[in-house]
Amino acid sequence: MNNLKLTNSFTRKKVIFKPINSKKISLYACGPTVYENPHVGNARTLIVFDILFRILKVLYDSKVTYVRNITDIDDKIIEASHKNKKKIYEITNKVTKIFHENCKSLNCLLPTVEPKATDHIKEMIQMTSSLIDKGYAYKNKDHVYFSVNSYKDYGKLSNKNLKELKAGTRIEISDLKKNPMDFVLWKPSKDEDPGWNSPWGRGRPGWHLECSVMSEKYLGKTFDIHGGGLDLIFPHHENEIAQSCCNNNTKNLANYWVHNGFVTINNEKMSKSFGNIVSISDAVKKYSGQVVRLALISAHYRQPLDWNDELLKNQKNVLDKWYNLYTEENGNITEVDEILLDDLNTPGFISKIHQLYSEASKGDEKKILKFNQACKLIGLFSLSKSGWQSFKKDSINVSESYIIKKIEERAKAKSEGNFSLADKIRKELLLKGVLIEDQKNKTIWKFK
């Protein structure tokens, strides 16, 4: 029996994972809304569920369907279109392409299915009509709203009642709603905005409806695991559960809900207003996707993680060391360590890899293979050893002429007895990734 344990956000308990069908594991994770470049907070969600996907593939002999959607119609996308004076498809195509490049840089496996919201409008209209017919939704002036009072279990995922949710959440205010907490299933579109014909007029779907429709289409009315960032618990995932369970007359949408914690920047909330958002593209260009990946799993997925230069430099140093034992011969990964099975305990597993490295450093080929397999299991060693060395060199933003100039300035300072300046220049070069060494009458240099 596989002993994978997951913390279920719905029950707030860590439990052993028991699939609906061990020959058909089902996993859904909310993907990006493609209106701006994904940031490192999005990267954490990507990597967490990529690791879960990898583990499930090993445990269940690759019999896993992983669905990760693309939201390509949303108010934020329309706002970006107006602001940048670009067509919707220009923005969504560009950001989707960047997202896919980011996934590749971070060495995330391709999901089994990657559905786009705009390819499933017909199904969204059908679900909306069904919810109206069953008395769970109502139409008012070309809008369709879900009635939260019609679902007795509303608020169970977020562990709050309606009064608490209303007091603690920013909600869309509209005098068209019967209850301020009711949420939109369908809304009218302006002439210049994207829209589709429906029984309620030309319009577009609400955000929450999209994931309910796509998860049902590819995984069924009830499936194993639904994941996403902690910020999606309410209202997004709460609303998904309400509309899906009411429409399908099911007790659960997913049997396990898994949510990852937030990423902060130097202990501050990552926010546009603070101007401290770090895009995945910028991060992988500066540090490499492997460093970013290792940094984002250095803390347990459920805990907050602080993004800072010290963290990234430490992870780069770790990979520099680990690459000393890199080998192309990795073999098939056939088992998952118990540490990693305990609620995706990546910090504990990283400690185990350090131990494996120490043991393998003595030259035992079997231990070297085991060390490499452990790294591969969590998505590391995506570059060859030469590829890693090349990236290190390319990521050092300093020219050879600059280095030579600094060495000459240092030699002049030493000849004049200004040893503090000479030491300062040496440290400056070191910070830029350049090591210098005095040999007899000359100074040699190399990249770290």
Euclidean distance between CA atoms 447 and 3, whole angstroms = 45
Give the pairing of strands 137-140 and 143-146: antiparallel
Q: Read off the pLDDT of residues 20-46 as tens digits, 9 standing for 90 and up.
A: 999 999 999 999 999 999 999 999 999
Residues in the chain with pLDDT values less than 70: 1, 166-171, 272-273, 392-399, 440, 446-448
So what's the pLDDT on residue 396? Answer: 57
The share of the chain scoring above pLDDT 90, in percent, equals: 77
d(CA 30, CA 375): 26
What are the structure tokens assigned to 36, written together?
């701006």
pLDDT at residue 94, as a whole number: 97
- For residue 107, the 8-state DSSP code is T
CA distance 245 to 118: 23
The label of the residue with tokens 């309606």 reads: 162
Three-state DSSP class for residue 30: coil
Q: Read off the pLDDT of residues 198-225 as tens digits, 9 standing for 90 and up.
A: 999 999 999 999 999 999 999 999 999 9
Radius of gyration of the chain from Cα atoms? 26
CA–CA dist 232, 208 (Å, integer) = 10
**Long-range contacts made by residues 397-401, C-beta under 8 angstroms, separation at least 24?**
397/432, 398/432, 398/433, 398/434
Helix/strand/coil for 235: helix
Residue 90 CA, chain-centre distance (Å), reads: 23
214 CA to centre of own chain: 19
Strands 183-188 and 143-146: antiparallel
Q: Are strands 25-29 and 64-68 parallel, antiparallel or unpaired?
A: parallel
Domains and CATH numbers, the chain: 18-260 (3.40.50.620), 264-394 (no CATH), 396-447 (no CATH)
For residues 10 and 237, what is the distance between their CA atoms, to the nearest angstrom? 11
CA–CA separation, 400 vs 185, rounded Å?
60
How far is it, in rounded angstroms, from Cα 160 to Cα 121? 31
Strand pairing report for 137-140 and 203-205: unpaired
